[in-house]
Structure 1
């Protein structure tokens, strides 16, 4: 995943960066909230890590601004030196998806980041196969190759694809797709989901010819199914 980190303490920055790089994530570091907000308008991030105490603003205000004004729908991990219940509740109410108290522990940080990634529909990197691969996920550039041909996908189509590839054989409901990819909960028309999935199926040729079929499950959702030997690999470029 491409992770943006907002932390003004340089030692903490270096610590978080090293932990995330060890887990094979791409990391962009920011010391001021204005830098991060500007970057989210110019680049694609899969997850944000935001510290509470910042030189130019309050981390909770940054989270609230991202949610309410910048339409940021991705996961946010909030880090703070406070473990008070009121502070934790406030951070979650402002829009954080999870929190960690300092001092940070490397294994817990990586585990929380991975959990948020799974909940948001991002596939955990798998070892590259030594066999010829049909589907290749380019995780840093957010595109997919089919039989060596790069397929042009929108950001939402890419997120849908990584979710299906990470759950081959599993039924994924339309409501679950709406929540993970669109950030929408509740009774909402799922026609937009069907349209995006149909387009994704066509673009990636997920009709069985390459060993994978994206199948509609009546009144439920979708399932990615294998129909012959196929290989999927992910690369970071």
Structure 2
């Protein structure tokens, strides 16, 4: 599904994006209510996740406006740090389909999104079509197999792998990977990223033999590329 996320906290944005990308969703991020409202008029979304407290308004008002004025009919998941029952009831009355209290838990977030998506008629997401069929991604168990053989990955390696699989052909900078996977911003050593990517390339055999090559881009970052598997001499 294409999911729009309205959340002004950049750390929360990155966290939600990584959770959704790992489940093979396409994600667009917004920090202000006005940005999301404009985007819903210009492009198609299947699902929205909206935070309560925003710099230019209230998430509840955004939900109400989308439902009552814009005629938006897709699923809306409301996110709030409040545990107040009246706040939750008000959000649901305004048009939210479900809510989650912060701090968010990755598996629960993905499960709620999947459940609301199924209810709205969307299929359970599958790996990106550009990912060769030899790779199998189990989003529930956070595992990856090559030709039905499971590969032992750490949670961080799994997060890196699913991010690369979801963005085949796109350059991912080291700074972007540090922010998304490690939650680190600013100018810091990228040796950790390089070490994890090198290990991931070896474990998943991302050297072109299975149709994908994880390339290092000099002084920039990494890019997953489609390649033609090598043909052995007969």
Q: Using the alignment, how far apart are the partners of 1:98 and 1:87 within structure 2?
A: 12
Q: What is the 5 A alignment of 1:76-95?
A: 76-95=76-95
What is residue 96 of structure 1 aligned with on the other side?
96
The Cα of 1:125 is off from its aligned counterpart by 3.1
The Cα of 1:75 is off from its aligned counterpart by 0.4
Q: Using the alignment, how far apart are the partners of 1:49 and 1:125 within structure 2?
A: 17
What is residue 24 of structure 1 aligned with on the other side?
24
Unpaired segments ≥5 residues, structure 1:
131-237
What is residue 105 of structure 2 aligned with on the other side?
105
Partner SS, residue 24 of structure 1: coil
The Cα of 1:77 is off from its aligned counterpart by 0.2
What is residue 4 of structure 1 aligned with on the other side?
4
Q: Using the alignment, how far apart are the partners of 1:126 and 1:75 within structure 2?
A: 19
Per-residue Cα deviation, 1:34-76 (whole angstroms, up to 9, x for no partner)? 0000000010000000000000000000000000000000000
Partner SS, residue 70 of structure 1: coil
Q: Using the alignment, how far apart are the partners of 2:125 and 2:40 within structure 1?
A: 24
What is residue 38 of structure 2 aligned with on the other side?
38
The Cα of 1:24 is off from its aligned counterpart by 0.4
What is residue 114 of structure 2 aligned with on the other side?
114
Partner SS, residue 121 of structure 1: coil
Partner SS, residue 16 of structure 1: helix
Q: Using the alignment, how far apart are the partners of 1:126 and 1:59 within structure 2?
A: 30
Please, what TM-score do these two structures have when normalized by structure 2?
A: 0.54
The Cα of 1:126 is off from its aligned counterpart by 4.7
Partner SS, residue 28 of structure 1: strand
Partner SS, residue 122 of structure 1: coil
Q: Using the alignment, how far apart are the partners of 1:89 and 1:27 within structure 2?
A: 27
C-alpha RMSD of matched pairs (Å):
1.4
Are 1:51 and 2:31 an aligned pair? Answer: no
Please, what TM-score do these two structures have when normalized by structure 1?
A: 0.53
Q: Using the alignment, how far apart are the partners of 2:124 and 2:59 within structure 1?
A: 28
